[in-house]
Amino acid sequence: MSSRLAGALLVALSAVAFGSMAIFGVWAQDDDTSTPALILVRFTLASLVLVTVMRVRRIPLPPVRQVLPVAAMGGIGYVGQSYCYFLALEHAQASLVALLLYLFPAFVAILAAVFLRERITLVTGVALVVALSGTALVVGGGSGRPLGIVLGIGAAVIYSIYITVGSVVTRGLDTIAVTTIVCVAAAVVCGVVVAVLGVSGHPASFPASASGWSSLIAIAGLCTVVAIFAFFAGLPLLGPTSTSVLSTLEPVVTVVLATWLLSESLTGVQAIGGALVLGAVVWLAVSQTAQNDTVTPV
């Protein structure tokens, strides 16, 4: 097997794993799992695996001055994005939420231009217009409560800030160490949130059956740990541009699985809008990633 083919298979595995997270999230919520409980279990289990990997591979932690901003990324950015994402699933179709989340490359391009002084080229500008036009069709072309739509877009906005900040504070750091710090910080913050909710008389609701716990374990193991490791294993073999393009399989996987397993469906207008969003993301990936060295997984 050639290295590029192996890389493509690994990145595709990552996209499938990430893309299936919405399905497991809906199943966990159907088993009366609250969002705080879901996120706490996700990041706690993922942290245990990642810390073990770091110890086995003897990967050192960065200096404290570098750990703190990365921890803030996890405790604030990743937790905020996850809350918006899983809360959105309670108010909108998984397929709609997945397409809205994939607005983040467009938002990253805008933030990079404003705060990192990166130039928006003609190609990037056209791709942004196409992506936003596609989003308007996705949002206006079918069902989805306003709160779910706002939360889905909010997840994309927070994630774009997370990536923009991360491109600065994680420069030169080991990717496994960064991922571990992010997940541990997120687990700590989620634990505090669950504890505060419990003290205030609003305890987090954990799964009521084995199937619910299976969904949570799948979110932590398959959709977080396996997805991240497969992504970073495939990236050097496939290259950043091809990796970015192939990663757009993620929302496609979510839409297909939601149609198959959750009996969801997109209207014709939403399908056209989704195609425009994904087309714009591929365009952005090809035009921008060729100029950069790194790609960040969802």
- The model's pLDDT over 159-203, given as tens digits with 9 standing for 90+, comes to 999 988 888 888 888 889 999 999 999 999 999 999 999 999 999
- The token pair at 292 is 């950069």
Residue recorded with tokens 């409980």? 37
CB atoms within 10 A of CB 51: 14
Element (H, E) at 210: helix 210-220
DSSP string, 21-82: HHHHHHHHHHTT--HHHHHHHHHHHHHHHHHHHHHHHTPPPPPHHHHHHHHHIIIIIIHHHH
Q: What are phi and psi of 27, to 5 degrees?
A: -65, -40
Rounded distance between C-alpha atoms, residue 7 and residue 185, angstroms: 30
- How far is it, in rounded angstroms, from Cα 178 to Cα 170? 7
Instruction: For residues 221-241, give the mean pLDDT.
Output: 85
Distance of CA 280 to the CA centre of its chain: 18
Residue-wise pLDDT tens digits, 72-110 = 999 999 999 999 999 999 999 999 999 899 888 888 888
Token pair belonging to 230: 């497969």
User: Would you say residue 290 has pLDDT above 80?
Assistant: no
Rounded Cα distance between 174 and 165, Å, is 16
- Contact of 150 with 91, CB cutoff 8 Å: no
Residues 277/99, Cβ–Cβ less than 8 Å: yes
> What amino acid occupies position 12?
A
Residue type (1 letter), 156: A
pLDDT digits (tens, 9 = 90+) for 116-155: 787 778 878 888 888 888 888 887 766 668 899 999 999 9
Cα 90 to chain centroid distance, Å, stands at 17
Nearest in space to 43 (alpha carbons), one of 180, 229, 207? 180
Rounded CA-CA distance 150/147 in Å is: 5
> For residues 210 and 146, which has the higher predicted lDDT (pLDDT)?
210
CA atoms within 13 A on the CB side of 268: 0
The token pair that represents 187 in the structure block? 């687990």
CB-based contacts of 120, cutoff 8 Å, min separation 6? 109, 110, 113, 128
Q: What percent of the chain has pLDDT over 70?
A: 94
Please state the pTM of the whole predicted model. 0.89
Residue 45 backbone dihedrals phi, psi, to 5 degrees: -65, -40
Spatial distance between the Cα atoms of 69 and 87, rounded to a whole number of angstroms: 26
% residues pLDDT > 90 (the chain): 56
Q: How confident is the model at residue 297 (pLDDT cuts 50, 70, 90)?
A: low
C-alpha closest to that of 38 among 174, 176, 193: 193
